[in-house]
Structure 1
Amino acid sequence: MSPKEYLFVYGTLMQSFDNPYAQLLRSNSTLIGEGYMLGRLYLIEHYPGVIVSTVSEERVYGQLFELSDNHQEVLDQLDPYEGIGAQFSAPQEYVREKVSIHCAQGTIQSWVYIYNRPIKEENYLVSGVFTHIPDRLL
């Protein structure tokens, strides 16, 4: 029996979004619940990106999913959606890393897509919450 694998999402892969990749995640995982990681959330374009932080007051909120047994296949399909793969120019837009997620079940090590390019500080989302695509970008 292989160890459980988790994915923490904070943007367009959350349950409130209905794109094909969010659907793929939902059909190949179980929602554990809400949680947060230490980080800073930025609006990149019509989607967010997170930068890991060590400051306890800097939190990014999202949803934690337990991936099904075919977790590597699911991650392999999600990676290109997040700009990861040989077909993307360097630096790739995101990197997938394991990060501590704090949730009702305790602290769980989970995969997270971390933004990997320069950010604009004026796009910092202080709330740590991404809820929708801003009207100005529709």
Structure 2
Amino acid sequence: MSQFTYLFVYGTLMTTANHPISARLREESDLIGLGWIRARLYHIEDPEDPGQRYPGAVPSGYDNDRVHGEVYALSNGAEALIAAFDIYEACDPSRPEPHEFMRRRVPVTMDDNRVIDAISYLYSWDLSRATRVPSGRFNRHIPQTI
């Protein structure tokens, strides 16, 4: 198996976002369930396209801060899929650092309360132009343009 076993997604890669790149995720991996990570969810204003926004999760130390999402089991050969997501999330080696999103290992609490280790893309830039999503659920805030 690949070094990447599980992937936690909370935004445009979720099934509910119906984004073209999420279709690849569904084709090349298996949705195993819903879960949450200890983080805060924000709508980030796109610095390259004013008026457009996208989600970003930022780790939090507070127990009540939760970002909800989906967990996928990645199959053998997931390196190509992860490389495609790195490009999509603008954290591939061709991008200058610091990257806006960073791929990190996170503990995910599944709906059945077991905790699994997964990778996820977490936001790392300034939040001064961001709006917090207190529910931690992106699917309630999907702009019509996604």
Task: Give the TM-score of the pair, scaled to structure 1.
Answer: 0.89
| 1:75 aligned onto 2:82 | yes
Does the Cα contact within 8 Å between 2:99 and 2:124 map onto a contact in 1?
yes
Structure 2: which 5+ residue stretches go unaligned?
Answer: 46-52
Name the CA distance, whole Å, in 1 between partners of 2:129 and 2:109.
Answer: 25
- Tell me which amino acid in the other structure corresponds to 1:6: Y
2:123 is equivalent to residue 115 of structure 1: yes
The secondary structure found in structure 2 opposite 1:11 is: coil
Counterpart Cα distance in 2 of 1:113 and 1:35: 15
Q: Is 1:43 matched up with 2:50?
A: no
Question: Where does structure 1 differ by over 4 angstroms across 4 or more consecutive aligned residues?
Answer: 1-4
Change (3 A) 1:133 1:22: same
Tell me, yes or no, if the aligned pair for 2:4 and 2:78 is still in contact at 8 Å.
no
RMSD between aligned residues: 2.0
Matched residue SS, 2:92 = coil
- 2:63 match: 56
Deviations along 1:5-61, one digit per CA (max 9) or x if unpaired, are: 000000000011232210111011111111000001000132100111121100000
CA distance in 2, matches of 1:93, 1:31: 26
Deviation at 1:73, TM superposition (A): 1.2
Residue 83 of structure 1 and its aligned partner are, at CA, apart by 0.9
**TM-aligned CA deviation for residue 133 of structure 1:** 2.8
Give 1:121 deviation, angstroms: 7.2
Identity %: 36
- For 2:57, the aligned partner's letter is V
Any idea what SS the aligned residue of 2:69 has?
Answer: strand
Structure 1 unmatched runs, 5+: none
Given candidates 78, 95, 99, the residue that maps to 1:88 is 95
Which residue identity lines up with residue 117 of structure 1 in the other structure? W
Question: 81-90 or 28-37: which moved more?
Answer: 81-90
Residue by residue over 1:64-93, the C-alpha shift from the partner in whole angstroms, topping out at 9 and shown as x without a partner, is 111111111110111110011233232211
Instruction: State the alpha-carbon separation in 2 of the partners of residues 57 and 34 from structure 1.
Output: 17
SS in 2 for 1:120: coil
